[in-house]
Amino acid sequence: MLCLNLESTDPCFNLAVEEYLLRNRKEDYLILGVNTPSVIIGKHQVAHREADTRFVSENGIPVIRRISGGGTVYHDTGNLNFSFISQSTAGRQVDFRKYTLPVAEFLASAGVMADFEGKNDLKVNGLKISGNAEHVYRERVLHHGTLLFNTRLDALKGSLRNDTSRYLTRAVDSNPSSVMNLKDVMNGIEDIGVLKSRMLTYFIGQKENRSIELTPEEIEAIGSLAESKYRTWEWNFAYGPEYHFSNRFEISGINYSCRIFVRDGIIWECGIEGSDEMAVAAKNLIGCRHMPEDILRVLKEGNILISESDVYKFF
């Protein structure tokens, strides 16, 4: 197995690394990386339903879709991401235990006993420290997961939407769990960089595993994939399943109710009750992207007095 230590902390580039090596190489890989703050949603999820749109917008936290299914996770520089990519046997490709067991064994070597629970979680003392997801491409499988080491749990909580009842959709749900940081139970490792180095050394020390680096040609191709896919609104927001959004709210002392239908990231139907001006504005929102900046622009063009904070009532 080839062991790759990602120096990049760009979540778009690092997700592109996984997809590129999955689709264009035949070797088995272990990839370790750390990302700057970001919300990573599953392939079949609705971005606004999973992320707290106001919190991530006001804090400059990107929402990025990955190619694997499953639920939403929060990344920051206190979280270690691991990925396994390997050739697999048809019909036996999805196997969460197979790929989480080596990680649990590494943790045990560092004095932390982690248990595989549910479909795809690693837990310590009943608290989640790792969520995992998989994606199959032909005869290859990508398994990736997180290790919460010193993640800002307040930012994690703020970034993920708590109440999803305003959204009606067939999209995949997330499964919220109580979490903890490994730093609280891991003696002798005080820094995410040390954890990353220890884990890399652990796997390189095993039979036939060796360290590699990306070639300049690979870096160029991966960078192009990151730009054309993982940094785009079309992939991160428009790709998800269609959904209905409804809400009741108050702006400038007037009570409103709104109903929005979104497909491919675009508002196809919209109704707002509460004032004649808003009823007209609802028609103008049809064809608009369901994004805060787009809705704010259309409403202001219609002379609707609305603050930048009020626009999040439409999410």
**Which of 183, 211, 236 is the last residue before a domain boundary?**
236
On the CB side of 103, CA atoms within 13 Å amount to 33
- Percent of the chain predicted with pLDDT > 70: 99
Dist CA 187 CA 175 (whole Å): 29
pLDDT of residue 305 exceeding 90, the answer is: no
Question: Which domain, by its residues, includes 295?
Answer: 243-314
Residues whose CB is less than 8 angstroms from the CB of residue 10 and which lie 6 or more positions away in sequence, other chains included:
35, 36, 226
**Which of 181, 201, 236 is the last residue before a domain boundary?**
236
Of residues 30 and 131, more confidently modeled:
30
pLDDT of residue 187 exceeding 90, the answer is: no
Residues whose CB is less than 8 angstroms from the CB of residue 224 and which lie 6 or more positions away in sequence, other chains included:
none
Order of strands, sheet of 73-75, starting from the edge strand that comes earlier in the sequence: 63-65, 38-41, 73-75
208: domain CATH number is: 3.30.930.10
Whether residue 167 contacts residue 52, with contact meaning beta carbons closer than 8 Å, is answered with no
pLDDT of residue 173 exceeding 90, the answer is: no
The total number of structural domains that make up the chain: 2
pLDDT of residue 121 exceeding 70, the answer is: yes
Q: What is the mean pLDDT of residues 47-55?
A: 98
Q: What is the mean pLDDT of residues 157-179?
A: 93
310: domain CATH number is: 3.30.390.50
Task: Kindly state whether residues 225 and 265 are assigned to the same domain.
Answer: no
Taking the alpha carbons at both ends of the chain, their separation in whole angstroms is 44
Task: Kindly state whether residues 13 and 133 are assigned to the same domain.
Answer: yes
- Percent of the chain predicted with pLDDT > 90: 87
Task: Kindly state whether residues 252 and 199 are assigned to the same domain.
Answer: no
**Which of 236, 263, 285 is the last residue before a domain boundary?**
236
Task: Kindly state whether residues 201 and 280 are assigned to the same domain.
Answer: no
Q: What is the mean pLDDT of residues 266-289?
A: 96
Q: What is the mean pLDDT of residues 84-111?
A: 88
* Helices 192-204 & 96-109 angle (0-180, nearest 10): 110
pLDDT of residue 120 exceeding 90, the answer is: no
Residues whose CB is less than 8 angstroms from the CB of residue 281 and which lie 6 or more positions away in sequence, other chains included:
272, 298, 299, 302, 304
Residue-averaged pLDDT of the chain: 95
3 state SS of 124 = strand
Q: What is the mean pLDDT of residues 52-65?
A: 98
35: tokens are 């990302």
pLDDT of residue 28 exceeding 80, the answer is: yes
Task: Kindly state whether residues 121 and 223 are assigned to the same domain.
Answer: yes
Whether residue 11 contacts residue 40, with contact meaning beta carbons closer than 8 Å, is answered with yes
Dist CA 253 CA 227 (whole Å): 44
Task: Kindly state whether residues 213 and 142 are assigned to the same domain.
Answer: yes
Dist CA 60 CA 39 (whole Å): 11
Whether residue 162 contacts residue 112, with contact meaning beta carbons closer than 8 Å, is answered with no
Task: Kindly state whether residues 230 and 296 are assigned to the same domain.
Answer: no
Task: Kindly state whether residues 175 and 248 are assigned to the same domain.
Answer: no
156: tokens are 């994690």
Task: Kindly state whether residues 137 and 286 are assigned to the same domain.
Answer: no
pLDDT of residue 237: 98
| Residue among 64, 16, 11 at smallest CA distance from 236 | 64
pLDDT of residue 91 exceeding 70, the answer is: no
Dist CA 18 CA 22 (whole Å): 6
Range in 32-41, 128-137, 169-178, 274-283 the model is least confident about: 169-178
Of residues 172 and 53, more confidently modeled:
53
Task: Kindly state whether residues 227 and 136 are assigned to the same domain.
Answer: yes
Residues whose CB is less than 8 angstroms from the CB of residue 184 and which lie 6 or more positions away in sequence, other chains included:
none
**Could you report the per-residue pLDDT of 241-251, keeping only the tens digit for each?**
999 999 999 99
3 state SS of 73 = strand
108: tokens are 């045990």
Task: Kindly state whether residues 213 and 292 are assigned to the same domain.
Answer: no
Dist CA 143 CA 221 (whole Å): 22
Other Cβ atoms closer than 10 A to 168 = 14
Angstrom CA distances, 127 to 76, 108, 173, 283, stand at: 19, 16, 20, 47
Task: Kindly state whether residues 153 and 32 are assigned to the same domain.
Answer: yes
